[in-house]
Amino acid sequence: MEKDFTDIQPKSKENLPDNDYQEDNFSLSPNRELFYCFDEKGNYKKLVDNHYEANRLIIKQGWDAVNERVGQVRDQIVQGKLSPLAFFMEKTMMEVTILADYSGFSKRKVRKHLTPNGFSKLSPSRLETYAKVFDITVEELLNPDLNAQTFINAGKKV
* Full pLDDT tens readout for the chain, 158 residues: 444 444 444 444 444 444 444 444 444 455 677 778 888 888 888 887 766 677 778 878 888 888 899 999 999 999 999 999 999 999 999 999 999 999 999 999 999 999 999 999 999 999 999 999 999 999 999 998 877 665 554 455 55
Are residue 51 and residue 86 in the same domain, yes or no?
A: no
Among residues 39, 55, 71, the one where a domain terminates is 55
Domain check: are 32 and 102 in the same one? no
* The pLDDT of residue 139: 95
Number of domains in the chain: 2
Residues 75 and 38 in one domain: no
Q: Is residue 12 part of a domain?
A: no
H or E element at residue 101: helix 96-103
Rounded CA-CA distance 108/81 in Å is 18
Provide the pLDDT for residue 31: 64
47 and 104 belong to one structural domain: no
User: By residue range, what is the domain housing residue 30?
Assistant: 18-55
Closest alpha carbon to 83 in 114, 59, 107, 46: 114
